[in-house]
Amino acid sequence: MAETAEMVNPLREGIRLRRTPDPCAMVIFGASGDLTERKLIPALFYLSRERMLPPGFAVVGCARTPKTDEQFSKEMSDGVKKFLHLTPESDAFVEGFAKGLHYVADDFSTPEAYQKLKETLDHLDQEHGTAGNRLFYLATPPSFFPVIVKHLGAAGLAKPKEPGKTWTRIILEKPFGRSLASARELNQIVTSIFDEDQVYRIDHYLGKETVQNLLVFRYANGIFEPFWNRRYIDHVQITVAEELGVENRGAYYEESGLLRDMIQNHVLQLLSLVAMEPPATFQATAVRDEKAKVMRALRPIAPERVSEFVVRGQYVEGFVGGKKVPAYRTEPKVSPTSNTETYAAFKFFIDNWRWADVPFYIRSGKRLAKRVSEISIQFRRVPHLLFKGAGAEGIEPNILSIRIQPNEGISLKFCAKLPGTTMQIRPVEMEFLYGESFGAAPPTAYETLLHDCMLGDATLFNRADAVDLSWELVDPILERWKEDGSTGLSQYAAGSWGPKEADDLIESDGRQWRRL
């Protein structure tokens, strides 16, 4: 019988065990897109190289663009070498991996395409020993999700080939809906054809090593969790900053905006991991239950008070990396009168026993000063300064920083005495870096998430109720912004850290954004 996430605990005493998934075929819809070449196929190659894939494994790329198996394999092999920066010595291994890549070209809005896909999968069961297990990955624009899901159901591909012996799962890329109503409508369609335990709503941020290490940091060490509450923590900052603009995604970004693209999924997921209560076990249901409790406890922001707790901005021309870059409104496929936000800063409160009155400051944006994602825990200042005249009056409070990207790691800032005969105090840092401590850079998020899905471990994937709760939080803000139009839309120079209004948001509380 196929194992599920609830039947098998993937960790024992906090350590993820190395396991090999069941034989399976992975079908990628949207295989001619950028995500497949840049992320998915390189991630699968990594898993293959590390011998974390089963011997019976194959990939089927699906898209409208006409290609042969050989053309698809060649393109994906070139992509693996390019994006993983492989040396020529790896060519033979890449070519061996590419033999398991196949391609089906058709219009996947027609029933005939799914019959062709079904025949291909049956053939791979015989040729590659994929044993009837199927993993469908929807790397397409979200508008295609309902179409593909319905056709998979009609073709008999949504249910296990042999119930009780084989499994079928589906991965849906973000965004899952673009509002609460659309997310619920999409979820109704998906769960009318697939069971909830077959559905994996992916958020690649949750697969990053440092994000996972946040749970280990909190629950595998006895010295931090006793202080992880309102008595000792002054506030929390979460920053997800990008140097890049919208590049060639102007049309998508006009429909999405920063709030839908980053806050509703990535950033709120990070917040829930910081604030969640310890789960009873490290299993999917227990972990996701605690994350959902955080989402329920987040204080809603009333439409009439949005300007008190939220700042939105849009970048104008500026300099990034010494080069002049254009304003958002002059980017390709962007309206010259666009009111779409490329930056947002929030002040959230969590109304529960642990976090009452502790503000969570969040900021995220395009075309900022540098690419960095970090969670910063600032502890309360000491109640009484003993060392007056020693430089203690101006020192910063203790700060625990969890760097998600780049240079993944954790640092702790505390005070120490300078060498010498006088009492002089300065802040110093203890730092842990993945690359230095373990001798290698951590894998990207997709390796972890794809492997977990093959194992049936849903711990790092979003559940339907958490998706609904996040949309319930952001929908009133989006509606208010739509009503306001350009009113309240701040401008900031590309290459800066965002609009002045974001500084005012935190400084009005007597605090400052952390300098990164």
Higher pLDDT, 13 or 303: 303
Instruction: Read off the pLDDT of residues 124-160 as tens digits, 9 standing for 90 and up.
Output: 999 999 999 999 999 998 889 999 999 999 999 999 9
**Among residues 163, 142, 161, which one has the least CA distance to residue 152?**
161
pLDDT more than 90, % of the chain? 65
- Structure confidence at residue 2 (pLDDT): 41
Instruction: Say whether pLDDT at 1 is over 60.
Output: no
- Structure confidence at residue 443 (pLDDT): 66
Among the listed residues 102, 128, 204, 266, the single catalytic one is 266
Give me the domains of the chain, ranges plus CATH numbers: 11-174 (3.40.50.720), 207-507 (3.30.360.10)
- Structure confidence at residue 394 (pLDDT): 61
Instruction: Read off the pLDDT of residues 275-286 as tens digits, 9 standing for 90 and up.
Output: 999 999 888 899
Helix (H) or strand (E) holding 79: helix 69-83
**Among residues 261, 277, 512, which one has the least CA distance to residue 399?**
512
- Structure confidence at residue 201 (pLDDT): 94
- Structure confidence at residue 401 (pLDDT): 93
Instruction: Read off the pLDDT of residues 222-252 as tens digits, 9 standing for 90 and up.
Output: 888 999 999 999 999 999 999 999 888 888 8
Q: What is the pTM of this model?
A: 0.89
What are 124's two structure tokens? Answer: 């791979």
Instruction: Say whether pLDDT at 14 is over 60.
Output: no
Instruction: Read off the pLDDT of residues 319-373 as tens digits, 9 standing for 90 and up.
Output: 998 899 999 999 999 999 999 999 999 999 999 999 999 999 999 999 999 999 9
- Residue 266 appears among annotated catalytic residues: yes
pLDDT mean across residues, the chain: 89
Instruction: Read off the pLDDT of residues 489-502 as tens digits, 9 standing for 90 and up.
Output: 999 999 999 999 99
Cα–Cα distance measured from residue 111 to residue 485, given in angstroms and rounded to the nearest whole number: 43
β partners of residue 105: 63
Instruction: Say whether pLDDT at 390 is over 90.
Output: no
DSSP string, 2-42: ---TTTS-SEETTEE---PPPPEEEEEETTTSHHIIIIIHH
Whether the CB-CB separation of 476 and 259 falls below 8 Å is answered with no
- Structure confidence at residue 129 (pLDDT): 92
pLDDT more than 70, % of the chain? 93
Q: How many CB atoms lie within 10 A of CB 222?
A: 7
What are 312's two structure tokens? Answer: 């939105």
Q: Residue 423's pLDDT band (boundaries 50, 70, 90)?
A: confident
- Structure confidence at residue 5 (pLDDT): 41
**Among residues 248, 305, 261, 322, which one has the least CA distance to residue 505?**
305
The three state secondary structure string of 350-403 is: ECCCCCCCCCEEEEEECCECCCEEEEEEEECCCCCCCCCCCCHHHCCCCEEEEE
